[in-house]
Each structure stands twice: as structure tokens, then as C-alpha cells.
Amino acid sequence: MIAAERQKRIVELVNARGSMSLAELAQAIDTSESTVRRDLAQLHKTGLLRRVRGGATKVVSSEYVISDQSFAGRQEQHMEEKRAIGAYAADLIGPHDFVFIDAGTTTECLVDAITETRAIYLTNSLRHAQKLLAKGCRVLLPGGELKPTTEALVGAETVGLIRRYHFTIGFWGTNGADLETGFTTPEFNEAAVKQISLEQTVRPYVLCDSSKFSQVAPITFADFDRAQVITDLLTDRSYVQSGNVIEVGSQQ
């Protein structure tokens, strides 16, 4: 089989299945893994496939998100998945942790599931702070401007205070999660808070239901490999192959 025919067949196979490993492709077209690896490098360069560690995935067009929905509007979406994600994340918090919790509806599900009251919590969400306080937690709030759509504290004062802290674990929401673009959000001030707080955290987690994958908002606040991602089951297996995705409910 000549190179052009072989590469055409690789594209057909990967597009049909969504993703395939080097070994699977080599067996399917009866050639060596080294040959497939070279073919994948060429197909990635031309944009026909996306090469990932150990194989390839089909190219998925990213959806662009240009603005935040209201908090109330987002509360009605994917709540079963968000509650499962939040419950899993809550179990990661230990009694000696200093925890950052970002504003948002998925992180609110985390707050609802928290039972560890000995940890110290800092959040830029007034809503989260009130719920944590009601649980008997020690809660810190930064200063700053209160953003109406997400009910988050943002601005230079917020960033300046958070920069002084070093968190053992933290949890963030995101408007978009994409392998190439990373974690994104529509608004600059909120992106700045997300970025600096994540940089100040030893064990960062992004809580993200599957609807947010392959979506891109205007501002990146972290690369995709900078945090562990807790999500529900994904149909696009290229994200799972990245090695930092935890699927809640996965049978793996």
C-alpha cells in the first residue's frame, strides 16, 4: 500500500471510531507502528487528524463561547453531572488542606458536598462562603468587585490578596476545555483570578461537565495539562488519552 492510500485509510478508520492507538492502526492496515507514527505526524501537520500520545483522534471543531450566562441560567444545566463531579471532588479534601474554591455552579455542587470542616477555605464567591460558613468551616474572602453574572469577587484587589497565599488544593470552573486552547473564560478580570489562584495551588482540579469540552472562550487561564480535570463520561476519547482526566462514573 502506497503512502497516500495508507494515510487515507488511517483517516477513515480514526474518523469512524473517534480515536485509535498506534497498535490498533498498525494491525488494521497491516504495517509497522513506526510507519503509522510517521503517517500520523504528517496527517497532524496537514490538519486531517490530531496526533496524541500513543495514537490519534479525529479533528473536532471547537465551539466558541463569547459571554457568561447568568448564575441562575447555569444552575439549570447538567445538574446531575455537576453533583456527581462535586461529590467526587469533595472527597479529595483533607483536614489539613488550605483550599481555594472558584465561583460557579459546578464548584457550588462541590461546596454542597463538602463534609470536611477542619480544612481552611478561601473562595471568591459570596454564595460559596455563606454555605461553607453554615457548615461550620473556617472561611476567608478576598476583597474586590462583585461580578453580577457569576457572583464572583474579581479585580486587582482580589488578585493581589490571592497572590500572597499558597493553597494545597483548589477547584475551578471553566467555560471551555480544549486540548490546544486550554481552560478558557469570557471575561478578563475573572480569568486573572482563576489564573493566579491556580498558579498558587499544589494540587489544582478543574471541575467540568462534558458539555464544556471542545468549547473555547476568549481568554485562556491555564493550559489543559496544568490541572487534573474531573468530569462525567466523555465521548471524545482524545481527552482521556491526555492522562489528566478523571471520569466520574467510568467503568475503567
Tens-place pLDDT, residues 105-133 = 999 999 999 999 999 999 999 999 999 99
Number of Cα atoms under 13 Å in the Cβ half of residue 77: 15
Tens-place pLDDT, residues 199-214 = 999 999 999 999 999 8
- Domain shared by 157 and 38, yes or no: no
- Domain shared by 129 and 82, yes or no: yes
- Domain shared by 80 and 198, yes or no: yes
- Domain shared by 139 and 19, yes or no: no
- Domain shared by 44 and 68, yes or no: no
Domain membership of residue 182 (yes or no) is yes
Domain membership of residue 252 (yes or no) is no
**What pLDDT does 73 receive?**
47
The CATH number of the domain where 49 resides is what?
Answer: 1.10.10.10
Domain membership of residue 144 (yes or no) is yes
SS (H, E, C) 138-166: EEECCCCEEECCCCEEECHHHHHHHCCCC
Domain membership of residue 213 (yes or no) is yes
At residue 234, the 3 state secondary structure works out as coil
Range of the domain at 196: 63-247
**What pLDDT does 88 receive?**
98
- Domain shared by 44 and 18, yes or no: yes
13-21 mean pLDDT:
85
Per the structure, how many domains does the chain have?
Answer: 2
DSSP per-residue string spanning 42-76: HHHHTTSSEEETTEEE---PPEE--SPPPHHHHHT
Domain membership of residue 243 (yes or no) is yes
Cβ neighbourhood burial of 12 (10 Å; 0-12, 13-18, 19+) = exposed
- Domain shared by 52 and 100, yes or no: no
- Domain shared by 121 and 199, yes or no: yes
- Domain shared by 35 and 69, yes or no: no
- Domain shared by 36 and 106, yes or no: no
- Integer Cα distance of 89 and 205 in angstroms: 8
